[in-house]
Amino acid sequence: MKTLKVPLDPTGEQEESIDHNIEANRYAYNNFITACKLKFDSTGKLPSAYDLNKLVTRFRKNCPFIEEAHSNAMNETSKRAIQACERTLGEHRKESGTLFIETDILEVAGPHFPRYKKKGEFNSYTYPTHRDFSIVMDTTDDECTNKGKGTKKKKKGKGPKRKIRLGKIDGPIRSYNQSTKIDGKVKTCTVNRKDMGRYYRYSASITYEDIPKSYPEPKGPIGVDVGVSNIAALSDGTVFENDHAYAKKESKFKKEHRKLSGLQPNTPEYLKQRTKLNHCYEKVSNHRKNNVEQISNHIVKNHDIIAMEDLSVKQLRSISRNKRMTKGYNDASIGVLRKRICDKAESAGRTIVLVDPKGTSQTCSNCQEVVEKDLSVRTHVCPHCGYEEDRDVNAARNILARALSVLQGQRDRPAILSDT
């Protein structure tokens, strides 16, 4: 499954309809949380999505505000409320299709439920099936209807424009990102609203079946070491440096935040400054995403076996010694990069091998002797064999060697035959 994010350009009436659907789903979400609390207090179990969907029918009969919203989207919001309750209640297990909560956890912490969503905190809703929305190709924008004297001719476009029809929204909505094609079967569509300060920005996240890409002949296995100084270092010597997009503009962000704190909330000047600050953060976010996509494409496109350390960003943060290191992990987008590599590798049919990260940076990849060094030392110099290499490239080669030994061990392992 793949997801394509499409920016939307709705008209004023369409914006009102989208806002109405979001607020209706927010109202339903809060009522679903209340229903989950009452059900859990009386029976110790959470209600099913079917039970909450019965409430949707009652809402639509008694509340005209809810009646104008899309019913299938509201049913999807009920699943969202149940998932939120499952996360906040802690560990759980399923027996006979019913959710039970571990009693020892509840005795210590007590049952915790999600907070109610205030206005502005709930900014999305989902159409669960392709019948609730459609993608249409519109050719009307390419025609010049007024050819009278003294009027400007409308420039011809590059072809039909992709527009999106949404349930309970009148007319097709103009969209951007026309170049990305949707080849697979469309599944769901999530409408998002982002508060930019003086205005809202709308987008649609369309989920569709992924058709595997045809890549050229791979060059062979590769080891990948992710980090802060270098976002990724490969065992073939390729290094993707971290340009520290956030760190370079951190002083600017602090300055803009100081300006914002000195203004009266909800005034035109406050909203203008908030919009400016949101644009600054968005630029950094887009820059990080671009780096992640380019690096992950390079790795998956050229290599059939990809070796990485079996280490999560949460673990890295727990062992980091200061706040600056934690900021570095966020600025390098290590977690997002690992996820994108794994997702693209799965789609392309590549093999991902996760190895034990212990000692990859402290071991010489040439002679396998341990060479201890501090984080400030960026070049690996082995006193035993004289091998000299970038610290991260040396770690990537150790990661690749461990991955190949794991694969070799799996091939050499004898098959276990059953008695039957």
Q: What is the DSSP string of 383-403?
A: TTT--EEEHHHHHHHHHHHHH
The H helix count followed by the E strand count for the chain is 12, 16
Looking at residue 418, what is its pLDDT?
A: 37
Question: CA-CA distance, 325 to 271, in Å (whole number)?
Answer: 33
Could you identify the residue written with the tokens 């760190």?
247
User: Checking phi first, is residue 193 left (phi over 0); if not, alpha (psi -120 to 50) or beta?
Assistant: beta
Q: pTM score > 0.75 for this model?
A: no
* Residue 113, burial from CB neighbour count under 10 angstroms (0-12, 13-18, 19+): middle
* Residue 62, burial from CB neighbour count under 10 angstroms (0-12, 13-18, 19+): exposed
Question: CA-CA distance, 398 to 98, in Å (whole number)?
Answer: 46
Write down which residue in 127, 155, 176 finishes a domain.
127
Does the residue 193 lie in any domain? Answer: no
Question: CA-CA distance, 88 to 61, in Å (whole number)?
Answer: 31
Give the sign of the dihedral formed by CA 349, CA 350, CA 356, CA 357. negative
Q: What is the DSSP string of 106-166?
A: HHHH----PPPPPTTT--EEEE-SGGGEEEEEE-GGG------TT-PPPPP-SSPEEEEEE
Q: 172 by DSSP, 3-state: which?
A: coil
Does the residue 75 lie in any domain? Answer: yes
Q: Are residues 253 and 398 in the same domain?
A: yes
Q: Are residues 243 and 362 in the same domain?
A: yes
Contact status, residue 135 vs residue 105, Cβ threshold 8 Å: no
Looking at residue 111, what is its pLDDT?
A: 59
Q: pLDDT 10s digit of each residue in the chain, 420 long?
A: 788 899 999 999 999 999 999 999 999 999 999 999 999 888 888 898 888 988 888 888 888 888 888 889 999 999 999 999 888 886 443 333 344 433 333 343 345 788 999 988 999 999 999 889 998 887 775 444 344 444 444 455 566 788 899 998 998 999 987 778 887 889 999 999 998 888 899 999 999 987 777 777 888 899 998 888 888 889 888 888 888 878 888 888 889 899 999 999 889 899 999 899 988 888 888 888 898 889 999 999 889 889 988 877 666 666 555 666 666 666 667 788 888 898 888 888 888 988 888 888 888 888 888 888 887 788 888 888 888 888 888 889 999 988 888 888 765 545 443 333
Write down which residue in 64, 92, 127 finishes a domain.
127
- CA 102 to chain CA centroid, Å, is 30
Q: Which long-range contacts (CB under 8 A, 24 or more apart) does 111-119 make?
A: 111/40, 112/88, 113/33, 113/36, 113/37, 113/40, 113/85, 113/88, 113/89, 114/33, 114/81, 114/84, 114/85, 114/87, 114/88, 116/30, 116/33, 117/26, 117/29, 117/30, 119/23, 119/26
Does the residue 94 lie in any domain? Answer: yes
Q: Are residues 382 and 242 in the same domain?
A: yes
Question: CA-CA distance, 391 to 319, in Å (whole number)?
Answer: 20
Does the residue 176 lie in any domain? Answer: no
Rounded to a whole number of angstroms, the CA Rg of the chain reads 27
Range of the domain at 63: 2-127
Q: Number of structural domains, the chain?
A: 2
Looking at residue 357, what is its pLDDT?
A: 82
Give the sign of the dihedral formed by CA 361, CA 366, CA 370, CA 372. negative
Looking at residue 419, what is its pLDDT?
A: 37
Does the residue 167 lie in any domain? Answer: no
* Residue 205, burial from CB neighbour count under 10 angstroms (0-12, 13-18, 19+): middle
Q: Please report, for residues 18, 49, 56, 242, the alpha-carbon distance to residue 291 in angstroms, rounded to integers and kept in the order given.
A: 32, 40, 43, 9
Does the residue 163 lie in any domain? Answer: no
Question: CA-CA distance, 296 to 343, in Å (whole number)?
Answer: 10
Q: Are residues 372 and 234 in the same domain?
A: yes
Q: What are phi and psi of 13, to 5 degrees?
A: -65, -40
Looking at residue 324, what is its pLDDT?
A: 61
| Both structure tokens of 363 | 């071991």
Question: CA-CA distance, 167 to 186, in Å (whole number)?
Answer: 15
Write down which residue in 81, 96, 127 finishes a domain.
127
- CATH classification at residue 390: 3.30.420
Question: CA-CA distance, 393 to 234, in Å (whole number)?
Answer: 6
Residues 6+ apart with CB under 8 A from 122: 22, 23, 25, 26, 29
Question: CA-CA distance, 48 to 78, in Å (whole number)?
Answer: 9
Looking at residue 327, what is its pLDDT?
A: 65
Q: Are residues 123 and 269 in the same domain?
A: no
**Listed residue (67, 78, 100, 93) closest to 34, CA to CA:** 78
Does the residue 168 lie in any domain? Answer: no
Does the residue 276 lie in any domain? Answer: yes
